[in-house]
Amino acid sequence: MPITELDGEIQRRRTFAIISHPDAGKTTLTEKLLLYGGAIHLAGSVKSRKTQRHAVSDWMEIEKQRGISVTSSVLQFDYDGFRINILDTPGHQDFSEDTYRTLMAVDSAVMIIDVAKGVEAQTKKLFQVCKQRHIPIFTFVNKLDRFGKNPFDLMEEIEQVLGIRAYPMNWPIGVEGNYTGVYNRKLAQIELFQEDGSHGQNILPSTKGGVDDPAFREILGEEVHQSLCDDIELLDAAGDAFDQELIDKGELTPMFFGSAMTNFGVQNFLEEYLRLAPPPAVHASTVGDIEPNDERFTAFVFKIQANMNPAHRDRLAFIRICSGKFERGMSVYHDKSDKMIKLAQPQQFLAQDRTIIEEAFPGDIVGLFDPGVFGIGDTLCNTDAKLRFPDFPVFPPEQFARVQAKDTMKRKQFLKGITQLTQEGAVQLFQQPDIGTESYIVGTCGTLQFEVLEYRLKNEYGVDIIMQHLPYEVARWIEKDGEKLTPYSLRGADRAMFVLDSKERPVLLISNEWAIRWIMENNPDVTFSIVPPDRSNAME
Ligand code: G4P
């Protein structure tokens, strides 16, 4: 069978997200990958970033202020014939649905670990999502230019804490955490660090050579050289064998040591990643598996964001293409509204630079202007496909607050803002019956979302809010056969709050799991669910 244009485009695509604990080096590594891909010419180095230059991938004001990534950005660039899509995941402490959704749109993930800190809490949470999806995970152990943990201990940690075997692709050279280079296991070569004092703004060559080269024995010193040889012997004898099948299933992680800041090991990592990582995957749908080279166009919405750039006041829906070819101006079937939609101004991104795209292929992410019709998880497809991808799981909210506009004259803007942010999936909205639109109850999965809500309402809608945190930790959607439930329908629920969700379904906000059990015992004829009744898939 001749290789079609579609096949060729699919084979060269790699779509992934970088997951890490804050400060492990995600922004720096992303920048360096862009630098190697020629997408930027000078990486925003540690120094210049502190002054005026911000990393290409964090574009929102709040991110600049707080130095964290709050929203996911999408970056596309080419390297050696490959087309790479990097989806940036928020790296803050609070795990948000946004992060989860981003991971639904990738074919593999890169996990960054700080060599001195090992596996940290946030990495663990994000990693669990990747593991559930059985996508390949590549590990980059960063900051090798600094004092770090013993590499065997790090391998052990990955295996113990994350439950995945690790295959080191290279190995740090040095003793007691003082590393001067790496040994490339595939090429059986030593590569030594080089620094030019530019903090990695430039691409640097490295010094390479065979492990038996006497020159290296001399440069490294007898002790370091011998310890390297011993480590390699031990790895070869006792470590896991390289197994592409296990990597594809996400059961073995290729592990790389390097330093994003000094560029050390970045190019080698990129090249090996591109060689080992999979092209766009098959997606399960209501009519069976959809191969990416299926000629019919299919995609799903994984993220919606309003006011991404103050210069463009608009709402964008980000879609991940699963199969077929996307062409500007094409009309597609939107399952939720049961309507045809013309995709007139598709956009691709390099941070604030938007470009209108003419075509895109499976694995690509495209931003579409959203007149308010798209929802997270919606399917878009050709009329001859008419299928649906599974709904995204719902995250039960865990924190609640009452919010209202400080200035009652701003009620209209407040309502608009809070409705839009709810549609984006940033927060979940509830209302107490008979209280009107003066105040709302919002539910989130973490504290940071409240801050983001406050910040965005102020900056994008000009509304200052009053926020009062509520002492509830769990929400339960409640149903009873043939009865319209009211705040007075339940026994023993005096301390819970009765609210309605955005579709007017009754929900109970409760202080803790113990209280839920009590209420459930007192109301055996009521059904309690952790997600809305029309959604069966919840993330615990
Ligand atoms: P993140 O996106 O994962 O949160 O991490 P980011 O890249 O912002 O890096 C966090 C800090 O770690 C930064 O320092 C960055 O320069 C530093 N860093 C990243 N890679 C390396 C590395 O390979 N070696 C060393 N030694 N440091 C590295 P910072 O002082 O917070 O910088 P800035 O962002 O305030 O300029």
Same domain as 334, residue 247: no
Same domain, 237 and 311: no
Confidence of residue 54 (pLDDT cuts 50, 70, 90): very low
| Ligand 1 pocket test, candidate residues 71, 142, 261, 262, most atoms within 8 A of CB | 261
Q: How many CB atoms within 10 Å of residue 38?
A: 11
Structure tokens given for 179: 């590393």
Residues 340 and 428 both lie in one domain: no
Domain boundary among 381, 408, 424: 381
- Ligand 1 in contact with 234 (CB < 6 A)? no
173 in a structural domain: yes
198 lies in a domain? yes
Mutate to test the pocket of ligand 1, among 18, 23, 68 (most ligand atoms within 8 A of CB): 23
Residues 372 and 410 reside in one and the same domain: no
The verdict on the CB of residue 43 being under 6 Å from ligand 1 is: no
Both structure tokens of 47: 């120094």
pLDDT digits (tens, 9 = 90+) for 113-160: 999 999 987 788 778 888 888 899 999 999 998 888 999 999 999 999
Q: Are residues 229 and 93 in the same domain?
A: yes
Residues 315 and 441 in one domain: no
Is the separation of the CB atoms in 403 and 466 below 8 Å? Answer: yes
- Check whether residue 180 and residue 328 sit in a common domain: no
Question: Residue 378 Cα, ligand 1 centroid: separation in angstroms?
Answer: 36
Q: Mean pLDDT over all residues of the chain?
A: 83
Weakest mean pLDDT among 32-41, 406-415, 429-438? 32-41
Q: What pLDDT does residue 313 have?
A: 60
Residue 63, pLDDT > 60, answer no
| 158 in a structural domain | yes
Residues 406 and 355 reside in one and the same domain:
no
505 lines ligand 1 (CB under 6 A): no
Q: Is the pLDDT of residue 245 over 60?
A: yes
Report how far ligand 1's centroid is from the alpha carbon of 475 (Å). 38
Pocket flag, ligand 1, residue 261 (CB < 6 Å): yes
452 CA to centre of ligand 1 in angstroms: 23
Q: Is the CB of 145 under 6 A from ligand 1?
A: yes
CATH number reported for the structural domain that contains residue 369 in this entry: 2.40.30.10
Q: Does residue 170 surpass a pLDDT of 80?
A: yes
**What is the number of the ligand 1 atom nearest to the C-alpha of 24?**
3
241 and 337 in a single domain? The answer is: no
Cα(5)–Cα(7) distance, integer angstroms: 6
- Burial class from Cβ neighbours inside 10 Å (0-12, 13-18, 19+) for residue 504 reads exposed
> Which residue has the CA at smallest separation from atom 14 of ligand 1?
46
Q: Which of 327, 346, 381 is the endpoint of a domain?
A: 381
For the Cβ of 97 lying below 6 angstroms from any atom of ligand 1, the answer is: no
Residues 164 and 27 in one domain: yes
Work out the average pLDDT over 388-409: 87
Q: How far is the CA of 29 from the centre of ligand 1 (A)?
A: 9
pLDDT at 301: 93
Q: Is the CB of 344 under 6 A from ligand 1?
A: no
- Which residue's CA is minimally distant from atom 29 of ligand 1? 46
Does the pLDDT of residue 62 top 50, yes or no? no
How confident is the model over 25-47, as a mean pLDDT?
Answer: 69
Of 19, 26, 28, the residue with max ligand 1 atoms within 8 A of its CB, to mutate for a pocket test, comes to 28
Q: Which of 5-14, 25-34, 50-59 has the least mean pLDDT?
A: 50-59
In a domain, 492, yes or no: yes
- Tell me, what's the pLDDT at 9? 96
Amino acid at 237: A
What would the pLDDT profile of 249-301 be if each residue is shown by its tens digit?
999 999 999 999 888 889 899 999 999 999 999 999 999 999 999 999 999 99
Residue 386 lies in a domain: no
Q: How far is the CA of 114 from the centre of ligand 1 (A)?
A: 10
Number of domains in the chain: 3
Residue type, 38: G
Q: Is the pLDDT of residue 205 over 70?
A: no
Q: Are 24 and 162 in a shared domain?
A: yes
Q: Residue 13's pLDDT is what? A: 97
Residue 106 contacts residue 15 (beta carbons within 8 Å) = yes
**SS3 for 213?**
coil
User: pLDDT band for position 90 (50/70/90)?
Assistant: low
Give me the CATH number covering residue 186: 3.40.50.300
Q: Within 13 Å and on the Cβ side, how many CA atoms surround 27?
A: 25
Summarised one tens digit per residue, pLDDT across range 469-510 is: 999 999 999 999 878 888 888 998 888 999 999 888 999 999
For residue 530, what are the CA distances in angstroms to 291, 393, 489, 513, 536?
33, 12, 19, 12, 9
What's the token pair of residue 357? Answer: 């795209």
Is the pLDDT reported for residue 51 higher than 50? no
Q: In terms of residue numbers, what domain contains 508?
A: 399-529
Token code pair at residue 474: 């769990």
In a domain, 345, yes or no: yes
Q: Averaged over 447-456, what is the pLDDT?
A: 82
Q: In one letter, which amino acid is 310?
A: P
Q: In Å, what is the CA distance from 224 to each residue of 207, 213, 316? A: 17, 14, 54
Residue 53 reports pLDDT greater than 70:
no
* 231 vs 75: which has the higher pLDDT: 231
Does some domain include residue 290?
A: no
Q: Residue 216 is encoded by which pair of tokens?
A: 């290296």
For residue 61, pLDDT over 50 is answered with no
Q: Is 260 in the pocket of ligand 1 (CB under 6 A)?
A: yes
- 28 CA to centre of ligand 1 in angstroms: 6
Q: What is the pLDDT of residue 358?
A: 81
Helices (H) and strands (E) in the chain, counts: 14, 31
Q: Name the residue with tokens 């590990």.
A: 139
- Out of 381, 416, 434, a domain closes at 381
Residue range 81-98: mean pLDDT, rounded: 73
Indicate whether 20 and 81 sit together in one domain. Answer: yes
pLDDT at 57: 41
In a domain, 46, yes or no: yes
Nearest-CA residue for ligand 1 atom 9 is: 25
Q: Model confidence over 334-383: pLDDT tens digits?
A: 988 888 988 876 665 544 455 677 889 999 988 888 777 888 889 999 87
